[in-house]
Structure 1
Amino acid sequence: MQKLIIFLLFVFSAPSIFGQNLFKEAYFVNKKQDTIHGLIKDYDWNFNPNYFIFKKDENSVEQKIFPESVLLFEIFNASKYKSSLVQIDVSEHRIEKLSKEKPANFESKHLFLKTLVEGEANLYKFSSDKLIRYFIETSESGIEQLVYKKYVNNNSEILENNRFRQQLLLKLDCENLKKYSLKNIKYRQKTLVKLVSNYNSCFEVSNKNYVAKKAKKAFFVSINPGVQMASLSTESGRNVKSKTEFDAEYTFRLGLEVEYILPFNNKKWSLIFEPAYQYYSSRVSVEPDFLDSYREVDYQSIELNFGVRYYMFLNKSQPIFINLGLSQDIDFNSEITGNIEAILDIKSALNPLVGAGFKFNETMSLELRYQINRDLLTKYVSRNSDYRSLALIFSYRFM
């Protein structure tokens, strides 16, 4: 039975995670300034990509294309990146690694810069796990990084190099922009996008904003009733082992799930947290039978399930999903008793969970969830147990 369950979960998980990012209509411009139309795999990058994957049509061979080979690429209705050899400040912003020098520490790098705004002035962004940098380009000058840097002086005080304000003052000369508005401007995407867009409105050219509008809602709440089949085995004794196998029992469970959709990778990832009530009760006879010896367990608890969810879209409203996480259990005076051996208090530890399911629509889904290796006897040195459950969970999203 266990092998069958693991196999079914494997089947659900088999599609490659990366294969679920769809190829979308797109184009790139090569060094000869030829525009090549085709399909580009859309990862909805959280950080700027080092390359993109292109194919001419659905049946063509995939190609990895690096920034040195092209001028730009665009995925229609999604994002646009410009390839450029730039001077970028690589100074650390972590407090423990701040430089004692005020000037930027520039290095030459060939990068894909994400287009935020296009017009008389263009605004670009580069982000990685360590850096966030913004770049400005006007009709009169090439691409230049807007400089903002934190540094430490000789008195260990944290100071800021806000040279970007002076750069903007010199480059964005327009009567509609008040000089004082740049004095306290922050080095933030929202602020810089608004400023450059306002500057572009001074001219009779179109202003195009590539900043994707965030989803109106990222948090969702669902009620999760379900039926679970659970089993328990216990083992005691250091020298002479004694093992009890309790029967598999069907019980009801009820959870309340909160899900947060992460704003990248086409919203395929989310964080989940679910408090859920569950119970398990079983009684078994143990040798010697003529004494009517038995052991029984009465176990009820609140599970605190938390983890990550990955969606694989069959279409816009009916994705398959996979859950991976951990479960922390809070029991209600649960114990293992009987007319032989000791009464044992149940105290459990963290255990892993894995699940796979299918969303019927925006509000309803069905999940098969498997939890393993929950030890209910953690307070005893010479005893251990293995509690496992397989649950079929129906979920209804109401918020």
Structure 2
Amino acid sequence: MKKLFLFISIFSTVALWSQLKFEKGYFIDNQEKRHEVLIKNFDWLKNPTTFKYKTEENAEEKTATVDDVKEFQVFGYNKLIRYTGKINVYKNNLDNLSYSPEPDFRDAKIFLYQLSTGKKNLYSYFSNEIQNFFYSDESGEIKILIYKIYNPEGNTSLLAINDKYKSQLNNIFSDNEAALKMVKSTEYIDSDLIKIFNKYNQVTSEQSNLSLNKVKTKIHLALKPGVNFSKFKFYSPSSPQSYDANLSSIDPKFSAEMEYILPFNKGKWSLLLEATYSSMNANSKSIDNDRDISIKYGYMEFPIGVRYSMFLNDKSKIFTNVKFPILTLKTQDGSLKYTSTTYYSDTYFTLDRMSSSFIFGLGYSYNNKYFVELNSSMKRSISDFIYFRNYFTYNSISIGYNIF
């Protein structure tokens, strides 16, 4: 298990950095000169202030900053536009809201993602819980859309919203009845604002998909039958070995997994929620006196975790997981039984709910439909005995199928 853990750790590190490729793009400098280059594509979650580029594949890697560049884009992704002006730095933290409805303005020079393009352009900025949206029209001036949640009159039990952005939208789209009808239901979120600006700009479905890719998430639900190779050790650190035992078994497991793919870094990161049922049924001999020992234990566990995927091509990927069970339930009366001998009568130990520990995994997926996965758990106890110690581990192999 230690070797598997080491391999997964090394693999994850290498995979993360090996996939950050230089891709075709361009940038426009302060002299309005356009440079066709290769840009290191992080598919940024937060708006970057710098980016790395090469003039050609074997050229030296260089760094450009927001001071040097007016606009840049990795082809196939949203372009980023330099903005110098006010941003609203309030954070949407309900435990620490401002008492004032007025925006908390700060001067900044930043790159904005352009989410919709046309007569009216939409931009976004996200960093450290700060979310701002901006717009521009034919004049080219970029202006902020105002939104803020606050505690009115300092009363922390009340919430109010400065939604000035809606009146701004009414003015922006005053010449378009279809867009005006959407203003009332438009929330201060990426997807809603993209839809109303795209409606006004009459963008093509291809352009619309590009802008929505910035906020698009996916959910997969998979069934994962498999096999557990379980081990259970029971021993006393301070008494004779009459109860010491090592048991192992091969048992079926049944799992269902929900995967939420995060909308950045090209969909390489995802969150996991899993429900798993398995059991351990094994027989063995005690170490020093050859007593028959049997264990029966059934359990359900509900791990949450993180997955990182490395794409080999359009249909294949390798992934690593780290998961932690937030809840483990015993599904039958678990027991450890020692049969009688000349010197000993039958002895039973009751097994309780299993403790939680990390589970590490490695897998291969084909066409986002079929996958095989290996998992290895760290040591976990099944009962807290006064005079005895125990630990349970398993390695498993599962075959998965994504229902959607």
Query: How many Å separate the matches in 1 of 2:366 and 2:182?
Result: 50
Query: How many Å separate the matches in 2 of 1:175 and 1:187?
Result: 20
Report deviation, 1:10.
4.5
Contact 1:376 1:385 in 2 (8 A): yes
- Structure 2 residue 390 is the aligned partner of structure 1 residue 390: no
Paired position in structure 1 for 2:383? 377
Paired position in structure 2 for 1:279? 279
Provide closer, same or farther for how the CA distance between residues 349 and 216 of structure 1 changes in structure 2, counting only shifts above 3 A: same
Q: Pick from 358, 366, 369 the counterpart of residue 364 of structure 2.
A: 358
SS at match of 1:373: coil
Paired position in structure 2 for 1:134? 133
> Counterpart of 1:359 in structure 2: which amino acid?
S
Contact 1:365 1:394 in 2 (8 A): yes
Query: How many Å separate the matches in 1 of 2:99 and 2:347?
Result: 66
Query: How many Å separate the matches in 2 of 1:372 and 1:241?
Result: 27
Contact 1:176 1:199 in 2 (8 A): no
Cα shift readout 1:162-208 (whole Å, capped 9, x = no counterpart): 33344444555526478787577543334433443454469xxxx96
Query: How many Å separate the matches in 2 of 1:166 and 1:391?
Result: 57
Q: Pick from 343, 363, 367 the counterpart of residue 373 of structure 2.
A: 367
Provide closer, same or farther for how the CA distance between residues 398 and 287 of structure 1 changes in structure 2, counting only shifts above 3 A: closer
Provide closer, same or farther for how the CA distance between residues 24 and 255 of structure 1 changes in structure 2, counting only shifts above 3 A: same
- Structure 2 residue 102 is the aligned partner of structure 1 residue 103: yes
Report deviation, 1:389.
1.2
Report deviation, 1:110.
0.8
Query: How many Å separate the matches in 2 of 1:275 and 1:93?
Result: 32
Report deviation, 1:99.
2.3
Greater alpha carbon shift after TM alignment, 128-137 vs 37-46: 37-46
SS at match of 1:144: strand
Report deviation, 1:301.
2.4
Provide closer, same or farther for how the CA distance between residues 136 and 391 of structure 1 changes in structure 2, counting only shifts above 3 A: same
Report deviation, 1:116.
1.2
Paired position in structure 2 for 1:309? 307
Paired position in structure 2 for 1:51? 50
> Counterpart of 1:76 in structure 2: which amino acid?
F
- Aligned pairs for 1:253-272 (under 5 A) are 253-272=253-272
Query: How many Å separate the matches in 1 of 2:148 and 2:49?
Result: 24
CA RMSD in angstroms comes to: 3.1
- Aligned pairs for 1:317-328 (under 5 A) are 317-327=315-325, 328=327
Q: Pick from 296, 299, 309 the counterpart of residue 297 of structure 2.
A: 299
Provide closer, same or farther for how the CA distance between residues 282 and 44 of structure 1 changes in structure 2, counting only shifts above 3 A: same
- Where does structure 1 lack aligned partners over 5 or more consecutive residues? none
Cα shift readout 1:64-102 (whole Å, capped 9, x = no counterpart): 322111001111111111012121121233233322333
SS at match of 1:145: strand
Query: How many Å separate the matches in 2 of 1:12 and 1:279?
Result: 30
Per the normalisation by structure 2, the TM-score is 0.85
> Counterpart of 1:394 in structure 2: which amino acid?
I
Contact 2:123 2:133 in 1 (8 A): yes
Contact 1:21 1:42 in 2 (8 A): yes
> Counterpart of 1:346 in structure 2: which amino acid?
L
Paired position in structure 1 for 2:190? 189
SS at match of 2:211: coil
Query: How many Å separate the matches in 1 of 2:135 and 2:263?
Result: 25
Count how many residue pairs are aligned between Structure 1 and Structure 2: 390
Contact 2:229 2:250 in 1 (8 A): yes
> Counterpart of 1:295 in structure 2: which amino acid?
I
Query: How many Å separate the matches in 2 of 1:217 and 1:84?
Result: 27
Provide closer, same or farther for how the CA distance between residues 248 and 58 of structure 1 changes in structure 2, counting only shifts above 3 A: farther
Contact 1:246 1:283 in 2 (8 A): no
Paired position in structure 2 for 1:346? 351
- Structure 2 residue 123 is the aligned partner of structure 1 residue 117: no
Provide closer, same or farther for how the CA distance between residues 74 and 253 of structure 1 changes in structure 2, counting only shifts above 3 A: same
Report deviation, 1:323.
0.9
Query: How many Å separate the matches in 2 of 1:32 and 1:38?
Result: 17
Contact 1:269 1:309 in 2 (8 A): yes
